[in-house]
Amino acid sequence: MMQRMLSVWHARNLEFVRDRSTLIFTILLPVALIVGMSFVFGGKERPLFKVGVLTQTLDTKAHPFLSERFVDFVALADEADAVRKVSRHSLDLLVDVKQPVRYWVNPSSPKGYIVEKLLLQTDAAAHRQPVSGDAVRYVDWLFPGILGMNLMFSCLFGVGYVVLRYRKNGFLKRLHATPLTAFEFLTAQVFSRLVLTVVVTSILYTGIASLIHFHSAGSMLLLLGLMLLGCLSMIALGLTIAARFSSEELVGGLLNLLTWPMMLLSGVWFSLEGSPQWVQWVAKVFPLTHLLDAARAIMLDGAGIAAISTDLIYLAVTAVAFLAFGAWSFRWRVE
Amino acid sequence: MTPPLLEARNLVKKYPGVAAVTAVDGLSLAVREGICFGLLGPNGAGKTTTIEIMEGILGATSGEVFFRGAPIGRRFKEEAGILFQKTALQDFLTVRQSITMFRGLYSRGLDVDEVIKLCALEKLEKRDTRKLSGGQQQRLLLAIALVNDPTLLFLDEPTTGLDPQARRNFWELVQSIKARKKTIILTTHYMEEAELLCDEIAIMDRGRVIAQGTPRNLLHEHFDEVLLELPRQEFPEGARSLPLKVIDASDRVEITTNDLDGTLRTLMDAHVPLKDLRIRPPNLEDLFLELTGKELRA
């Protein structure tokens, strides 16, 4: 029995080691994950309060309050947007340290109540600007993230593995013998997955929204349009991976290499506000970040098409670019 | 003069790398319209590479393929039907759904019902394609190759792995397709299949055509002898010194001669038992072995 197991074990090891591309990704993926997570979760302990400061660049010497410990001070230039964040409880307090010092606080926010005391200890003359608005529950904030993550997995893996299987079992080769072009094949795959994902996500949205008593503040039609563009972009991204490779392990590794950073950096679970600027720039590369930013803007803030136009354009451009690259690099058969 | 339906000119296919291989080495051949053309050769002779270049799905290193006198292009794919050695279909689809899907890829062709009837798939049309036997699977793949009512049909080793009944059933189908005046290019390892179906054959070895013509003409060109077969155990060792061309073939000896009466007399004079003697004309298998040798190919 041992001899039989050893024979199979040895042969499988040879197969694995000789598949160089897979071997490299098997080593690279965990290293990339460790490095990525150390940047996102590493560093100092998280502060207790988050306070916005109306300024272009943060200068802690501008006011004694800005030297308080356990407070995360975030520089914000857009006053209206910053006040909206206070009303939504995503900032505990907003302060403008130019004289006369003004601050905005939501009286219904418990953390706002405490951080206000801290401010008044250092500057009793600061002028209070009360802001009203219900807190955005974490579940409301998380809701678009979970839907977006589900959509991302469905789009990337659903198309990537199917095309790979078709190539490996010779079905693509058979299709190549017909007048079907690579572009026609890929477009059919994209739209099949698009319809499926949009229907499933819509059902999930309706079901979960009724469970957590959530009502989108913005247009449902705009949300649907955004979902279509987001799906298109991510399906096309999956196709760029599946366009030419024939190893399940390599394609699996590449898809993981894409999905894990997106899951951590695109704001599925937590906001990247306050994280290093370069992390936020990296996050902006991922289609999922644009999808979630725009979805939250529509669902939580009632944003219109103009407010999310940058995200819509990014998703449309990446969808076209990924699809074009996928069609260009597409291979019908195992090489 | 009418150009051949399909013509390959000086095809070369090299696979680069550490173990570089020249799979097709300056091959030229022409296929007339309305015939069944057989491409024969031992394993590794370059048959599948050649047929895939002619099908337009594999690029040649050099050389060209012409269809009706023009380089093959998009129109060719509309007019060609292909049955590969191995093809998987989409999971969870029935026989009818698979045929319908492929029918949708062509601008013209046969009605799905007609194809199903032509390939005797009526009783299987609702069956999941994963649940078909080997013979049924090949009939389905033939049906798919016929959906566009092709002018030219490629069959790459279509009966490999089938049992004798399924093989004969498939041959009948091919003969019914031949009766519809289709041009067929067939690769096969089975000489019986080539002899039965092909009007013309080309024998390939090491990437080149080494003989081409009708089976009858090729046999006539290469053999003016008959074969006498005797069980090896009935052929005395002493008889090997007789002035005869004796070849050992597994459990029997083969004697080739163009003087049948003289050879029989020589055997009788040497008291060789002749009760199990078989006399037969040479067939394609003899020709194949004569031209490509009897050693096992790597």
pLDDT (tens digit, 9 = 90+) per residue, B15-48? 887 678 888 989 999 999 999 999 988 888 888 8
Domain-located, residue B287: no
Residue A274 has pLDDT above 70, yes or no: no
Q: Do A177 and B89 touch (CB under 8 A)?
A: no
Cα dist. B96→B23, B111, B153 in Å? 37, 11, 21
Q: CA A119, CA A275: separation in Å to the nearest integer?
A: 23
Residue B129 lies in a domain: yes
Residue at which a domain ends, from A130, A165, A190 = A130
Q: Do B87 and A332 touch (CB under 8 A)?
A: no
Q: Which residue range(s) make up the domain with A223? A: 138-329
Q: Which residue has the higher pLDDT, A5 or A241?
A: A241
Q: How far is CA A133 from the centre of its chain?
A: 26
In a domain, B13, yes or no: no
pLDDT at position B86 is 81
Whether A56 and chain B come into contact, CB under 8 Å, resolves to no
Are A152 and A183 in a shared domain?
yes
B106 in a structural domain: yes
Largest CA distance in chain A: 84
CB contact under 8 A, A171 and B105: no
**Residues with Cβ < 8 Å from B285, sequence gap 6 or more?**
B191, B192
Contact partners, residue A61, CB within 8 Å, separation at least 6: A67
Q: Name the residue range of residue B276's domain.
A: 224-281
Does residue A334 sit at the B interface (CB-CB below 8 Å)? no
**Residue A245 sits at the chain B interface (C-beta within 8 Å):** no
Q: Same domain, yes or no, for A250 and A294? A: yes
The answer to whether residues A193 and A262 belong to one domain is yes
Q: How distant is the Cα of B148 from the closest Cα of chain A, in angstroms?
A: 9
Q: Does A162 touch chain B (CB under 8 A)?
A: no
In this structure, chain B runs to a length of 298
Domain boundary among B196, B220, B244: B220
Q: Mark whether A95 and A223 lie in a shared domain.
A: no
Interchain proximity B106–A179, CB inside 8 Å: yes
Which pLDDT score is estimated for B80? Answer: 92
B198 and B81 in one domain? Answer: yes
Is A169 part of the contact surface with chain B (CB cutoff 8 Å)?
yes
| A313: confidence class by pLDDT, cuts 50, 70, 90 | very high
DSSP string, A263-297: HHHTTSSS--TTS-HHHHHHHHHSHHHHHHHHHHH
We report the CATH number of the domain holding residue B102 as 3.40.50.300
Lowest average pLDDT, out of A266-280, A302-316, B56-70, B220-234, goes to A266-280
Is residue A179 domain-resident? Answer: yes
Residue A179 shares a structural domain with residue A115? no
A177 and A300 together in one domain: yes
Structure tokens at A328: 């260009």
Task: Give the pLDDT mean for A260-274.
Answer: 78
Chain B residues close to A174, C-beta within 8 Å? 82, 84, 87, 89, 144
Among B220, B238, B259, the domain-final residue is: B220
Tell me, yes or no, whether B92 and B163 share the same domain. Answer: yes
Residue A291 pLDDT: 92
- Residue B105 to residue A180, Cβ atoms within 8 A: yes
Considering only residues A32 and B29, tell me which one the structure prediction assigns the higher pLDDT: B29
Percent of chain A, pLDDT > 70? 89
Q: Look at residue A20 and tell me if it is in a domain.
A: no
CA-nearest residue of chain B to A184?
A: B105
Over 70: is that where the pLDDT of A36 sits?
Answer: no
In tens, the pLDDT along A42-52 reads 555 667 888 99
- In chain B, the number of structural domains is 2
Last residue of one domain, picked from the residues A74, A97, A130: A130
pLDDT value at residue B147: 93
A311 domain residue, yes or no: yes
pLDDT at A29: 62
Same domain membership, residue B266 and residue B147: no
> Residues A65, A183: one domain?
no
Residue A312 lies in a domain: yes
* pLDDT on residue A99: 82
pLDDT value at position A332? Answer: 85
On whether residue A28 sits in a domain, the answer given is no
Residues A184 and A308 in one domain: yes
For chain A, the domain total comes to: 2
pLDDT given for residue B39 in this prediction = 92
Q: Test B84 with A175 for CB contact under 8 angstroms.
A: no
Q: Which residues of chain B have pLDDT under 70?
A: 1, 18, 294-298
pLDDT recorded at residue B92: 84
Q: Indicate the burial class of A169 (C-beta count within 10 angstroms; 0-12, 13-18, 19 or more).
A: middle
Is residue A217 one of the residues assigned to a domain?
A: yes
Q: Could you report the predicted ipTM of this complex, rounded to two decimals? A: 0.81
Which is more confidently placed, A16 or B205?
A: B205
Q: Does one domain contain both B45 and B94?
A: yes
pLDDT, averaged across chain A: 83
Cβ contacts of A179 on chain B, cutoff 8 Å: 74, 77-78, 105-107
Domain end position, chosen among A130, A162, A180: A130
In a domain, A21, yes or no: no
Chain A: nearest CA to B57, how far in angstroms?
6
User: pLDDT value at position A321?
Assistant: 93
Residue A168: closest C-alpha in chain B: B88
What CATH number does the domain containing B242 carry? 3.30.70
Adjacency order of strands within the sheet including B226-231: B245-249, B252-257, B226-231, B278-280
Decide which of B18 and A68 is more confident: A68
Residue B116's identity, in one-letter code, is I
- Chain B residues with CB under 8 Å of a chain A CB are 55-57, 74, 77-78, 80, 82, 84, 86-90, 102, 105-107, 144, 148
A21 has pLDDT over 70: no
Q: Within 10 A of B252 (CB to CB), how many other CB atoms are there?
A: 16
